[in-house]
Structure 1
Amino acid sequence: MNESLWLATAYPRTTYPTVEEDLSCDVLIIGGGLSGLANAYFLAKQGKDVILLEKNSILQGATGNSTGKLTVQHDLVYAELIEKFGVENAKIYFQANEEAIQFARSIADSNELQTAHSVLFSQTTEGTDLLLEEKKAYEAIGIPFTFSKGAVDLPFETSHTLTIENEAQIHPVRFGQKLAKLAEKAGARIIEHAQVAALDTDRHFVKLSSSKIVSYRQLIICSHYPIEALEGMQVLKLDVERSYIAAAKTATPFDQQYIAVDNPKRSIRTTTIDGQSYILLCAESHPAGAEKETQIIYDRLTADLKTTLESTDIVYQWSAQDPSTPDLIPYAGAISSTTPDVYISTGYRKWGLSNSMACARIITDAIVGKPNAASELFSPGRTDFGALFSRALSLTGRTIKEFTGGHIARTDSPICTHMGCRTRWNKGDQTWDCPCHGSRFRADGSVLEGPATQPLDLG
């Protein structure tokens, strides 16, 4: 299987304990990515007794397979946010993410965080029109920017650029490892290889696959997808997109990190790790599980890296999945008024590095009773998601009918254990992928990525 640059160059791994006996805590966090770790750190610093459960090893999922961009420039987003929510709410979104970046700067060193300008660039007249609309949004919100012609670092023709200076890029795994150590130092208990098998929100406990019980007062679900044990109700409202990244060694690192706003759509940045610089290209995406011949995507990506960006020493390639909400804003907060002790953080739309920490701050403030200007904007209750999720929590043994079309079309593939869709073999990553809700399984059938919790039957 392919490996990300970040996982390959992480700090030496810390081994965290497993659950050997029943436990209890003030706040239980499910999910050991950046979101869960930030919640653990913030809450432990507030004096809460925190347990974080990770079903595999921390930072191995979305965090370890990201692009590493830590910026408030989330592609073309602010013009649309103003249209959907108004200027003041768009400003709240910006400020929440800006505060997250400043927090990251406060704890990271140069091995974990580097300064870089963030640049949107156009290649066509239509793309430039989109940039001009985004520029107007920046002006309305008060985001400092530079608008100019041409991207200085890129070896191909570009039209115009919209730049936010002095943003950041991180080594997401090293940064997460730093955050995990700080969370532990503050008193949080981090536990790995702890698969949640059942959840009882009335009696405030989870049961693990090992049959151990962890009791809590408040629960935070940060598992990238909402809690897998709910058999899929939650992901019906989240679109899951899969994207592909390749990295090559380079001798000329950039001061900028780039995203094209028009076609060909590319995200480009460089990073320097232990004295070696790399150029990263992300240029392909599709709905999770929708593509079978994924090696072709990797081949196109690496060919583009070689020909367009003139980088031939390709050393890493990987992919990641990202759920999105229907309206661009992540969900962060109590899932509903009827389930006030269960919080959720998800739907980062490929911008989880800043949004995860922004969401962690929102949830922490809610639990400790501190006002947060972003809480209403990010609330799961702003759509029918919160009500549906609350209802799913209250149902026992919920089942949904099989997806018959999948059974007819791909009778040679194993059935996803989440909701009965037929999986597809992903040749590039050597995994079984589900096109319905994004579950992924290793070649031996074991679960690689939720929402599925049970292995495939390969017999």
Structure 2
Amino acid sequence: MNNSLWLKTAYPRNSYPALNKDISCDVCIIGGGLSGIANAYFLAKEGVDVVLLEKDEILAGATGNSTGKLTLQHDLVYADLIKKFGRDNAKIYFEANREAVLFGKSFAIGDELWDANSVLFSQSKYGTELLRKEKLAYDEIGIAAELGRDSELPLKTEATLTIKDEAQIHPVRFGQHLAQLAVKAGARIFEKTNIRLMDLRKRLLYTNSNNEIQFNKLILCTHYPIEALRGLQILKLSVGRSYLVSTYANMPLQGQYISVDAPKRSARTAFIDGQAHFLLSGEGHRAGVEKETQIHYRTLDSELKYIYQLDPMQEKWSAQDPSTPDLIPYAGPISKSMPYVYMNTGFRKWGLSNSLVCARIISDQIIGRENKASSLYAPDRTGFGSFLIQALKNSGLVLREFSGGHIKRKDSPICTHMGCRTRWNEADETWDCPCHGSRFRKDGSVLEGPATKPLDLG
């Protein structure tokens, strides 16, 4: 399998033990990405008895395979948020993510974080018009930004929209630091601990090693919540995959860039132990629907050489992330019938700032502190019409893949989540499920959920 730049250059690992006995806790968190670790940190700082369980190693999933941008500029989003939710709610989204950026700046040390401007750029008249509309939304909300034309990239740009003094992070080192502070505050972290069964009525979890965890409250910090069917979130989330490459650079950028035109591209530099690295990402598609994925890496590698005049890629990796139908992640109780089970997911590839936002929302809810973003991020928020449309699309894909996959891919192993046929991903050497985004390693073990059991490769 491919390994990201961040995972290759992480701090020396602090290994956390596997759970080998029955335990109890006030709050149990499943998932050791940035969202789970931030939840553990915020709650432990408040004196809450917290346990975090990770089936593999912390930060090795979406966090460790991200672009590392800690920003409130989430592509073209604010004009759409105003249209969908109104100015006041769009401003709440902005303020919550600005707080996340400020937290990162106050918390990070060394080269865990660098100051950077966030820049959207256009290469067409249509893209420029989109930027103008987004700038109007910025002005309405109160986001300080500049509409101009200057760019450091060796590309012809029609216009740029820049938010100054944002941040980019080394997501794994940043998360490792946060995990250490969570443990120092009293949180208990267990790795290599996989949940095989949940009895939510009895508030019990059972691991593959037959240990029990008794909890009062549960937070699901996984891509697709294991119990998502209860609140029908499984019909409201779509999963996208994108590709990233990096190489050594002699062109450190002051900004982190995203194009608003096709082909969609994201570019930034990172400084790790004195060495500059250039990162380029894009080539997105629906998770699990392509087999010949090596072409996406070749495309990005070609652009490194011929557009940016850089060396061939040194690292390549891919990432996937669920999206909700209305742009805003879910953070809060998974359903009214089980208010003690919380979820956060649906980051739409903007999980670094939104992980911190969602963790703050849930931790505030658990300790009884008001958070004005709670209703905006609530999993049961109104808008059933858009949910229904997305549900029909997603469930339609599931039905097609379930029936067609069994006919067309008879030799592909069956996903252990809901029975869809997986598809081999040649570039990443994984079995990917097109129905709900589960991924399995070459040996059949689970890489990403919602599946919890390995493939039968017999």
- Per the TM superposition, whether the score is higher than 0.5 is yes
C-alpha deviation, 1:452, in angstroms: 1.1
Specify every segment of 5 or more residues in structure 2 that has no aligned partner in the other structure, as ranges. Answer: 388-398
Does residue 405 in structure 1 map to residue 383 in structure 2? Answer: no
Question: Aligned in 2, Cα 1:173/1:113: closer, same or farther, shift over 3 Å?
Answer: same
C-alpha deviation, 1:234, in angstroms: 3.9
Number of residue pairs matched? 445
Does residue 417 in structure 1 map to residue 416 in structure 2? Answer: yes
TM-score by length of 1: 0.94
C-alpha deviation, 1:18, in angstroms: 1.1
TM-score by length of 2: 0.95
Distance 1:446 1:52 in 2: 21
Residue deviations 1:282-322, cap 9 Å, x none?
A: 12100000111011111111111211111124210000010
Residue 126 of structure 2 aligns with an amino acid whose one-letter code is: E
Q: Is the 8 A contact 1:334 1:343 kept in 2?
A: yes
Does residue 106 in structure 1 map to residue 109 in structure 2? Answer: no
Q: Which moved further from structure 2: 65-74 or 308-317?
A: 308-317
C-alpha deviation, 1:229, in angstroms: 8.8
Q: Is the 8 A contact 2:228 2:234 kept in 1?
A: no
Residue 192 of structure 1 aligns with an amino acid whose one-letter code is: E
Q: Is the 8 A contact 1:112 1:172 kept in 2?
A: yes
C-alpha deviation, 1:110, in angstroms: 2.7
Residue deviations 1:324-382, cap 9 Å, x none?
A: 00100000011222211111110000000000000000001100101001000000011
SS of aligned partner of 1:118: strand
What is the aligned partner in structure 1 of residue 390 from structure 2? none
- Structure 2 counterparts to residues 157-172 of structure 1, below 5 A: 157-172=156-171
Q: Give percent identity, aligned residues only.
A: 62
Does residue 283 in structure 1 map to residue 282 in structure 2? Answer: yes
What is the aligned partner in structure 2 of residue 377 from structure 1? 376
SS of aligned partner of 1:176: helix
C-alpha deviation, 1:235, in angstroms: 2.6
C-alpha deviation, 1:401, in angstroms: 12
SS of aligned partner of 2:202: coil
Q: Which moved further from structure 2: 337-346 or 352-361?
A: 337-346
Q: Is the 8 A contact 2:226 2:450 kept in 1?
A: yes
Q: Is the 8 A contact 2:54 2:192 kept in 1?
A: yes
SS of aligned partner of 2:342: strand
SS of aligned partner of 2:380: helix
What is the aligned partner in structure 1 of residue 30 from structure 2? 30
What is the aligned partner in structure 2 of residue 75 from structure 1? 75
Specify every segment of 5 or more residues in structure 1 that has no aligned partner in the other structure, as ranges. Answer: 389-399
Distance 1:232 1:443 in 2: 32
Distance 1:402 1:264 in 2: 27
Q: Is the 8 A contact 1:229 1:453 kept in 2?
A: no
Residue deviations 1:98-136, cap 9 Å, x none?
A: 111111111101310000000000000000000000000
Q: Is the 8 A contact 1:33 1:58 kept in 2?
A: yes
SS of aligned partner of 2:41: helix
Does residue 359 in structure 1 map to residue 358 in structure 2? Answer: yes
What is the aligned partner in structure 1 of residue 130 from structure 2? 130
C-alpha deviation, 1:211, in angstroms: 1.0
Q: Is the 8 A contact 2:37 2:182 kept in 1?
A: yes
- Structure 2 counterparts to residues 126-275 of structure 1, below 5 A: 126-151=126-151, 153-227=152-226, 234-275=233-274
What is the aligned partner in structure 2 of residue 48 from structure 1? 48
What is the aligned partner in structure 2 of residue 393 from structure 1? none
Question: Aligned in 2, Cα 1:402/1:318: closer, same or farther, shift over 3 Å?
Answer: closer
Residue deviations 1:181-227, cap 9 Å, x none?
A: 00000000001111111112211111111111001111111012212
Q: Is the 8 A contact 1:402 1:419 kept in 2?
A: no
Residue 19 of structure 1 aligns with an amino acid whose one-letter code is: L
What is the aligned partner in structure 2 of residue 17 from structure 1? 17
Q: Cα RMSD between the aligned structures?
A: 1.7
Residue 284 of structure 1 aligns with an amino acid whose one-letter code is: E
Distance 2:269 2:162 in 1: 16
Residue 66 of structure 1 aligns with an amino acid whose one-letter code is: S
Residue 22 of structure 1 aligns with an amino acid whose one-letter code is: D
